[in-house]
Chains A and B, each alone.
Chain A
Amino acid sequence: MTSLGPIAFTAPWLLLGLIALPILWIWLRAVPPAPVRRRFPGVALLLGLTDRETQSDRTPWWLLLLRLLAVAAIIIGFAGPVLNPQDPRDGSGPLLVVLDGTWADARDWAQRMERTRLALDDAARTGRPAAVITLTDPPDAMPDFQPAQSVAQTLPNLQPAPWSPDPTAMATLADTLSGAFDTLWLSDGLARDGRDTMLSAFEDHGILRVVQTPRSTVALRPAVFDSGNIALSAARTPIGLPLSVPVQAIGLDPAGTERVLASIDIDFAAGDGVGETLLSLPPELRNRVTRFALAGVRSAGAVTLTDDALRRREVALIAGGGAAEGLDLLSPLYYLREALEPTADLIDGTLEDVLLANPDVIVLADVANLSGAESDGLIAWVENGGLLLRFAGPRLAASDVGRTTEDPLLPVRLRAGGRSVGGAMSWGEPKSLAAFPDDSPFRGLSVPGDVTVTAQVVAQPDPTLADRVIAGLADGTPLVTRKALGQGQVVLMHVTANAEWSSLPLSGLFVQMLERLAVSTRPASPDLDDLAGTVWLPQARLNAFGALIDATAQAGVPGETLAGAVPGPNLPPGVYAFEDARVAVNVADADTTLATAQWPARIPVEGLDIARERPLKGWLLAAALVLLAVDVIASLAVGGRLRGPRADVAAALLAVLLIPALPQGASAQAPDDSFAIDATQAVSLAYVQTGDPQIDEVSEAGLRGLSDVLFHRTSIEPSAPMAIDLESDELAFFPFIYWPLTANQPLPSRDAYAKLNRYLRSGGMILFDTRDADTARFGSSSPEGRQLQAIATSLDIPALEPIPDDHVLTRTFYLIQDFPGRTASRDVWVEAAPPDAEQSEGMPFRNLNDGVTPVVIGGNDWARAWAVDQYGDPMFPVGRGSAGETQREYAYRFGVNLIMHVLTGNYKSDQVHVPNLLERLGQ
């Protein structure tokens, strides 16, 4: 096999045939295409005609090129080209494939598996037994070498682990290795302790080859809170050019869906191994973040989980009384603010506003009376899981809150007045605190001796009192009481929040107590003392690919393990919870730096990219065939033989090739526009298509007749009437719609009803015609009438009445009192007049209907009375003789009045006031 770049040839000598190509060129070029012989009697007329061009006596160059390419493809094809030729691998004896199997492997795990499979395939081909191990999950004993095929079948079981190999475990593994074998080590590219041990161990047993790709690895360090912002940092290797990696903050949105809440880039300066950035998020958003991840990187190292360290509670501080002028130090909230500011987000405002913000904690410092709404809102908030922390004070002591009955927002009933100890006017010394009981949240906090209480409110003795006390004074009086309310709790400190009643706010105990009450946030990481003896339950686990998996079913982890916080098989990265505290274990810690693994020069390092051998012979021969097929058609075309059926076949072939390239569905939108343009170019009357072609034809003819009459007699000049389909056409273009009803008309769809109602509300008019007034008069006694009822049920039709004598329809253009069509029933209904319509002074009619009636309902078969044929002659007889013609005339007049009414509204009704107006103007 001779190699030529990435291509090798199995029979390279055949390539000498390419030398023949220029000869072929000259030879082919000299031979023109053979002429066609045709019998043609008209040849007598051709004699003496000479050719003006002499181009085709030689084969065109492009045809030559086509043929030469085909020949070249054949020659090269038979020379047996192979893409990415593989050298046969040397070596014999067992093969051990070692994978690091760390989180850094996860990003291209599939490629690693493919590379492993290839190595196993090679081993299988040469009959070498093989074994595969990962360093993150090392076997306890020397692995058994098995036939490579069966080992290849177990490959899908291998998964990377989201931690790094343990150096001690590696050393153990190095000791257990025995026998002679070759090793293929697929390195994840990161330098770490213990690698040298393994290197020498593998080299002791045989040839070692290393696969490692030069690539950039970035690990995201845990996010920390830094003066209002989130500080994000990441480590990278190799260290080189400036790099910018996007980081996404991921968390649940208010709807409970996990999404990217924020995004920011971490920039690495050139030559820097660590990049940092500050992310500023609103507290509301910040508390929702569950993890940060490098966008588009599937690796546990690219994810860092957040825990309590980042979560800041929102605390609302509300003090009783107005803005009393006083010293800061006397403010009821001063010490609270000082204690909470570093660890919590504080909210100020009125109680109503604060409740809207839904904080985690509301602190009421000496607030006694709450309004009913405030109280209800507060109770609802507490029952939803809020923590209400109240401090006593002069106002609470003086008020009657919780005196006789237990206030829902106070844990205990209070005795009036409270008590004061150790003051000038009282007996005894100021009281100190007792040790906290075991069931108290303050358990374990040391009580400093200098904390004294001089005044307090006192709880009424109640049966439940003992359960609710979580801290007391040395004499046993309750200092802090607590009760559960719904999912939340109410806590009362029986002293003030400032130093007026006690020195508690001045002590460090105050801060610790607030922390224990979960008012303030826990410090970044729990120390070992806190963790001793606790068992932390995994909430979610991170796999090597950076995906978060629910882990609530897994066994808990002792706090001591958690304290070390080095992720490993015993402590997979994830979120661990103890009571309401949550701690995240991440792959990278705050001091993580990365470096690329370096190998001694004697070790051959290969890339991960592998290319399979790909014989190109078939492709080249197929290409030659295609070229020859093209040559057939081209030759025919050049020789003038591409005629008749051949041309059809060639055209069909071309069409098959070209048709998919043509754009499709380009004219989808055009018809709608043309309909809209037609409808809006002039006023046009419209009718609803019933589906009965005869009725539709009559409607069209009727509206055409009416349009003609309008054109001749009035200033309305309608264009040709249009048919509308309620389902598909837009109605808003038409001022007037004629709707003949048939017994078997389908009901409009929901969308069509919505469209119709919109049309009726926005000033359109529909003339319903049941066409049955001669037999049924108007009502439900005919099938059409029943159909009208069915259709109108869902329409937004107002109350109706028969057209009153003074309706504006009777005088918009003609003065009429009858509304005949082909029949002359008086039953024509329009929107009812408002009940308060009154007859104006001196006017013959009431001032009715400030708008246009949206519907006119009747059965006089107007369309037939109006209908004219193409010559303008009436299509249907009306009545008899001249009386009938008079009736037709009145039908037209009704139509004119109707359209006038639609287009001018109550204009005619207003016109009657003109004399009055002129009179008032003094004319």
Chain B
Amino acid sequence: MTDPTALRTRAERTASALPPLLATAEHLASTVILGDHGRRRAGTGDTFWQYRPAQSHDTARSIDWRRSARSDSAFVQDREWQIAQSVVFWVDQGASMRFSSDSGVPDKATVARTLALACAILLNRGGERIGLTGSALPPRRGTAQITQMAALLSQDDPADYALPEARGMVPHSRAVFVSDFLSDLAPIESALTRAADQGVHGALVQILDPQEEAFPFDGRTVFESMTGGLRHETLKAGDLRNRYLDRLAERKDRLSGLGRTTGWQFTTQHTDAPATQALLWLYSALEQSA
């Protein structure tokens, strides 16, 4: 049974987090200026794109007779590709994302959510359908969808390391996974292969705190995960640094190798770096894989 007061408090806290999240995401998205959001290539759409000589696979219906009449060969009128794409997001909500090494650095979850939401806003402006993996928010267009997505993104997962959700992906759509990818790799691997099986390409964004990248510890230390579920005690933390960094590099390698085999792209974003560059990278990665 849920205590109403606690629920109210939690709801208010969630609601209060929402506008800032939306606002930062909007602010971030506004830094990328989009022009006319055509695909700049032939495809299905409404607007004229170009005439091209008819080829053998073109049906006779598609021949533009008005244009063809002006010359001896047959021409086909191409239209600009305006088909809307579905982009689904998975943002790690796990407890590990709520880590921040310094009060001046935002926690990883904030960065991940802002990044995902900003990308979603951009895509929404571009006319794409956006949604979340799983069944909570299927891809749809519109501002209401953004609001709803923001609300869903603001929820926290009590588990230490959240498992990637690969269900509910439209085949041949695009997907963005944002996480620190510090948990077990097997679920991630299986999620990616499943997505690749469905023809879904996308981008992996690893969000890391500067401390996780540097491991600046020394002395006798007990390391705990954010919920305290995992513990590791060492007598000489400085001694572990190189081995930890090796493991981290190995993990990054595996992720990007995984991406290469499945057609995903991989990047690492640090929480103390400006989010704009990650956003730009993400946007261009989606463009490329489109």
Contacts and interface: CB of A to CB of B under 8 A. Distances in A.
B191 interface: no
Contact of B215 (A34, A42, A53, A57): A42
Given A47-B230, A640-B218, A38 B236 contact: no
Contacts of A42: 182, 212, 215, 223, 244, 248
B224 interface: yes
B254 to A, nearest CB: 12
B215 A56 contact: no
A485 B183 CA distance: 121
A56 B226 contact: no
B124 interface: no
A638 B244 CA distance: 21
Given A38-B224, A45-B244, A638 B219 contact: yes
Contact of B96 (A36, A41, A46, A57): A41
A31 interface: no
Q: Give 3 nearest A-B pairs by CB, closest first.
A: A640-B219, A640-B218, A41-B96
Nearest to B228: A39
Q: Which of B183, B218, B226 has the most CB of A within 10 A?
A: B218
A154 interface: no
B240 interface: yes
B234 interface: yes
Contacts of A45: 182, 244, 247-248, 251
Contacts of A47: 230, 232
Interface string A623-657: 00000000000000011110100000000000000
A51 interface: yes
A168 interface: no
Contacts of B44: none
Interface string A42-66: 1111110101111111000000000
B220 A639 contact: yes
A52 B236 CA distance: 9
Contact of B211 (A40, A51, A640): A40
B217 interface: yes
Contacts of A35: 219-222, 233
Interface of B: 96-97, 99, 108, 161, 180, 182-184, 209, 211-212, 215-226, 230-240, 243-244, 247-248, 251
Nearest to A44: B182
Contact of A36 (B220, B226, B244): B220
29 contacts: A33-B219, A33-B220, A35-B220, A35-B222, A35-B233, A36-B219, A37-B222, A37-B224, A38-B224, A40-B211, A40-B225, A41-B226, A42-B223, A43-B223, A43-B225, A43-B231, A45-B182, A46-B232, A46-B234, A51-B240, A54-B235, A55-B235, A56-B220, A56-B235, A56-B236, A57-B220, A640-B237, A641-B219, A643-B218
A32 interface: yes
A34 B220 CA distance: 7
Nearest to B251: A45
Given A39-B99, A51-B235, A44 B183 contact: yes
A283 to B, nearest CB: 83
A641 B218 CA distance: 7
Given A47-B230, A643-B216, 7 more contacts: A41-B96, A41-B180, A41-B212, A42-B248, A52-B236, A54-B235, A55-B236
A45 to B, nearest CB: 5
A40 B240 contact: no
Chain A binding surface, main DSSP class: loop
A640 B230 contact: no
Given A43-B231, A45-B247, A47-B230, A53 B223 contact: no
A34 to B, nearest CB: 8
Contacts of B180: 41
A46 B223 contact: yes
Contacts of B247: 45
A41 B271 CA distance: 14
Contacts of A52: 236, 239
Interface residues of A, number: 29
Contacts of A51: 234-236, 239-240
B240 to A, nearest CB: 5
Nearest to B248: A45
Contacts of B222: 35-38
Contacts of A54: 235
Contacts of B221: 35-38, 640
Contacts of A43: 223-225, 230-232
Contacts of A41: 96-97, 99, 108, 180, 182, 209, 212, 225-226
B168 to A, nearest CB: 27
B66 to A, nearest CB: 63
A32 B236 CA distance: 12
A51 B96 CA distance: 24
Contacts of A38: 217, 221-224
B223 A40 contact: yes
A41 B231 CA distance: 10
Given A51-B235, A55-B236, A643-B218, A39 B226 contact: yes
B212 A639 contact: no
A55 B237 CA distance: 12
Q: Which of A33, A40, A47 has the most CB of B within 10 A?
A: A40
A44 B231 CA distance: 9
A60 to B, nearest CB: 12
Nearest to A35: B220
Contact of A49 (B218, B219, B225, B240): B240
A46 B248 contact: no
Q: Which of B230, B232, B251 has the most CB of A within 10 A?
A: B232
A46 B240 contact: yes
Nearest to A50: B234
A49 B244 contact: yes
A47 B218 CA distance: 17
A221 B216 CA distance: 81
A571 to B, nearest CB: 84
A639 B222 CA distance: 12
Q: Which of A37, A42, A53, A640 has the most CB of B within 10 A?
A: A42
Nearest to A57: B235
B214 to A, nearest CB: 10
A636 to B, nearest CB: 9
A640 B182 contact: no
A657 to B, nearest CB: 23
Contacts of B248: 42, 45
A53 B234 CA distance: 10
Given A35-B220, A40-B211, A53 B251 contact: no
B109 to A, nearest CB: 11
